[in-house]
Amino acid sequence: MHHNNKILIWLVMFLILASISLGIGASPIRNIVDFEPNGEYELELIIWNDDHKDMKAIVYPEGELAEYIDVIDSLVPISNSESEKKVRYKLKLPARFDRPGVHKCDLVVMEYPSSFGTGDETMVRATASVVSELWLRVPFPGKYAEAELYADAKGVNEYVDFAIGLMNFGKDNIGKAKATIRILQRNNDEIAAVETNEISLKSRQQGKLTAKWLADVNPGKYHIIAEISYDEKKIVLERDIEIGNLFIRIKSITVKDFSLGEIAVFNILLESEWNEMIPMVYGEVFVLDNEGKEFTRFKTTPIDMPPMDEGSLKAYWDTDGVRVGTYTMRLLIYYSEKVTEKLIDTEVNIDSIRTGLGPTAQVVASKGMGRDAMIAALIVVLIAINIGWFMYFSKRRKKK
């Protein structure tokens, strides 16, 4: 293994483990400072020693404000008896900034590797790093506001709470600000409109506009347009909200023209309670015997469910070797990372199959590997790499 390649792999391991092995924390998450020409500020952050261990931490600025920041205590010793440690830094601003708005910088806190500089590359230990943000707000000339639209969407026939966070980044005060919020359905037809309260904002002041809407509509996605007026200016914000629960109902399952020993064709009738098309809907059927053991299983071909309408799936069961009797079918319908499940009492006769629908349930389908599983797999891979390197160096020593 070439020297450069070995260093590169160690660096990759360092970065990966540093992202998942956090033993330190930093607060506040964000410090916000308003610009003053040639302003000087002394700020602080707190390093949290979550693992209660002896360590050293490095603190340094990174970002567009880094040249204006001086960290007073850049290398911080922390003992195992200290759960936190304060770090001070100074911010010295220039006379002006060409660009108004928010300027950002990160105060990076990194655990100092105890083996750093020892020369033994195989003993490098990954360290954790966290960030405390610094935001500098430089005012715009005149009147200038920025806004964020929030919506607490609930179920059908419940109130949706709207909130608009409004920040005056201008040098001038805002005398009057309010908003109209329009609700559109999927064909862009407006179905409702609500007005917010009215507020005034001084320069660098933040305020909130609020409104409520009774969602007496079908479940589904709706488009929201908020038109915010402040004095002679306007902001338009848009977003989607979901009302109710995306759900596909199993209405019936039937079999026609059946003879035992042949292929039974099941027609599974579904109904969508969502106002948009749901793509790639398919089903899986598990046939259980009287003891609850799986007898066989089969899948359907997928379909796209039309909005607020019915659709059907076809499932095929080869009954060659199947005996007359009572079975339980477990039917699962998969769609949009969800599953509708229903138990079906099934009576197989010589010339017919009768079905009776049992209880229904809906769960969120877990797709892909979860975070814990991913981390476990990653650790296994890294252990394997370490074992490989150990064997490699051992063989080299024996040859020497």
Q: pLDDT tens digit string along 353-379?
A: 998 876 555 554 433 444 444 444 445
Q: What is the pTM of this model?
A: 0.62
Residue 34 has pLDDT above 60, yes or no: yes
Which candidate, 165, 174, 230, 232, places its Cα nearest to that of 201? 174
Residue 8 has pLDDT above 80, yes or no: no
Q: pLDDT grade, residue 21 (50/70/90)?
A: very low
* Residue percentage of the chain with pLDDT more than 90: 56
Handedness of CA 347, 348, 351, 354 (dihedral sign): positive
CA atoms of 163 and 160, how far apart (whole Å): 10
* Residue percentage of the chain with pLDDT more than 70: 80
Q: Provide the pLDDT for residue 20.
A: 43
CB distance 133 to 31 below 8 Å: yes
93 or 245, higher pLDDT = 93
Mean pLDDT of 32-53: 91
Judged by DSSP in three states, 292 sits in coil
Judged by DSSP in three states, 289 sits in coil
Count of alpha carbons within 13 angstroms of residue 238, beta-carbon side: 4
CB distance 360 to 340 below 8 Å: yes
Sort 116 into a burial class: Cβ within 10 Å, 0-12 / 13-18 / 19+: exposed
Q: Provide the pLDDT for residue 127.
A: 57
The CATH homologous superfamily of the domain defined by 248-364: Immunoglobulins (2.60.40.10)
Q: What is the DSSP letter of 365?
A: -
Q: pLDDT grade, residue 50 (50/70/90)?
A: confident
CA atoms of 175 and 205, how far apart (whole Å): 12
Q: Provide the pLDDT for residue 54.
A: 87
Which tokens sit at 40? 């000087």
Please work out, in degrees rounded to the nearest 5, the angle formed at the alpha carbon of residue 268 by the alpha carbons of 266 and 271: 170
> Which are the contacts of 171, defined by CB distance < 8 A and separation ≥ 6?
139, 140, 141, 142, 203
Assess if CATH 1.20.1560.10 describes domain 3-138.
no
Residue 246 has pLDDT above 80, yes or no: yes
Mean pLDDT of 73-87: 89
Dihedral of CA atoms 97, 135, 39, 168 in degrees, nearest 10, equals 70
Domain boundaries, given as residue ranges, for the chain:
3-138, 145-243, 248-364, 370-400
Structure confidence by residue, pLDDT tens digits, 305-351: 999 999 999 999 999 989 999 898 999 999 998 999 988 889 999 99
CATH node for 145-243: 2.60.40.10
Mean pLDDT of 252-256: 91
